[in-house]
């Protein structure tokens, strides 16, 4: 009896280990890397940009605006403002370091501060060093790294960026979709947070 339980446990553990450690695979065929750097511009088209924002976090919806000021290539200031006009978040990003200048009391929790710094740091990053390129039937997937994690940039057949994924070795963490009219949809895969900017 004990032997059967032991065998069952070993089989269960091995099946779990194999399925859980199934690393993220990049589809397509690895090709010669011709693109060294890739620049993305949804938030850096002009010096000052104001976007309409909708944030759905933990089943609560918030409407407002995202204001972005671009000082230099790696230097931005941004603020998230509610429809009623109050500032919810104000942060400065310089050389990938994110400093929160102001955060509304309701959001001022360590875990939320940490995640917001990561998420907006990623959203505002405009330049990726490309390490590998994969060719798929739909276009290209460029592999880079940001915040210590792999980044995949999805280009369509016209080499236009339509999706960004940030992942750990095994799991997708963040998905960012870039639509035709420069609408950006940010989706966290770790927390129930979705942000739309247009």
Partner 1 sequence: MKTYLFLILNFIFVGVFAQEKKLSTAEIEEFKTFVEEEIENIQTIDTEFKQEKHLSFLTSKIESKGKMFVNKQGFLKWEYLTPEKYSIIFKENYIFINDNGKKSEVNSNQEIFKELSDLISGSVSGKLLNNPKFDISYFQKEEFTLVKLKPIQKSLQKYIKQVELYFPENDASVDKVKLIEASKDYTIINFIHKKINVEIDSHIFDY
> Considering the complex, what minimum distance in angstroms separates the CB of residue 179 from partner 1?
17
3-state per-residue secondary structure call for 38-104: EECCCCCCCCEEEEEEEEEECCEEEEEEEEEEEEECCEEEEEEEECCCCEEEEEEEECCEEEEEEEC
Q: State which residue, 32 or 48, has the beta carbon closest to partner 1.
A: 48
Decide if residue 63 touches partner 1 (CB under 8 A): yes
> Considering the complex, what minimum distance in angstroms separates the CB of residue 107 from partner 1?
11
Cα dist from 56 to 15, 97, 181, 188, whole Å: 36, 26, 21, 11
Task: Out of 19, 23, 61, 137, point to the residue binding partner 1 (CB under 8 A).
Answer: 61
Q: State which residue, 90 or 172, has the beta carbon closest to partner 1.
A: 90
Residues within window 72-131 making contact with partner 1, judged by CB under 8 A = 77, 79, 81, 83-87, 90, 101-102, 104-105
- Candidates 44-52, 127-135, 161-169, 188-196: pick the segment binding partner 1 (CB under 8 A): 44-52
Q: Measuring CA to CA, which residue among 113, 71, 114 is closest to residue 94?
A: 71
Q: State which residue, 69 or 113, has the beta carbon closest to partner 1.
A: 69
Q: Measuring CA to CA, which residue among 171, 136, 137, 132 is closest to residue 152?
A: 132
| 113 backbone dihedrals φ, ψ, rounded to 5° | -55, -45
Write out the two tokens for 1.
Answer: 């009896």
Residues forming contacts to partner 1 in the complex (CB under 8 A) are 48, 50, 52, 61, 63, 65, 67, 69, 77, 79, 81, 83-87, 90, 101-102, 104-105
């Amino acid at each position: 009896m004990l032997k059967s339980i032991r065998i069952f446990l070993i089989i269960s553990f091995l099946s779990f280990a194999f399925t859980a450690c199934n690393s993220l695979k990049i589809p397509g065929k690895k090709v010669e890397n011709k693109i060294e750097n890739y620049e993305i511009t949804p938030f850096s088209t002009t010096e000052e940009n104001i976007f309409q924002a909708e944030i759905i976090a933990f089943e609560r919806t918030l409407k407002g605006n995202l204001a972005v000021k671009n000082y230099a290539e790696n230097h931005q200031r941004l603020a998230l403002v509610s429809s009623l006009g109050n500032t919810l978040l104000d942060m400065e990003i310089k050389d990938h370091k994110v400093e929160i200048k102001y955060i509304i009391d309701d959001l001022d929790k360590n875990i939320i501060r940490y995640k917001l710094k990561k998420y907006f740091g990623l959203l505002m990053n405009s330049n990726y060093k490309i390490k590998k390129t994969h060719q798929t039937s739909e276009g290209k997937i460029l592999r880079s790294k940001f915040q210590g994690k792999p980044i995949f940039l999805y280009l369509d057949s016209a080499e236009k960026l339509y999706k960004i994924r940030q992942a750990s070795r095994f799991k997708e963490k963040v998905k960012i979709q870039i639509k035709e009219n420069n609408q950006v949809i940010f989706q966290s895969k770790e927390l129930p947070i979705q942000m739309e900017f247009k």
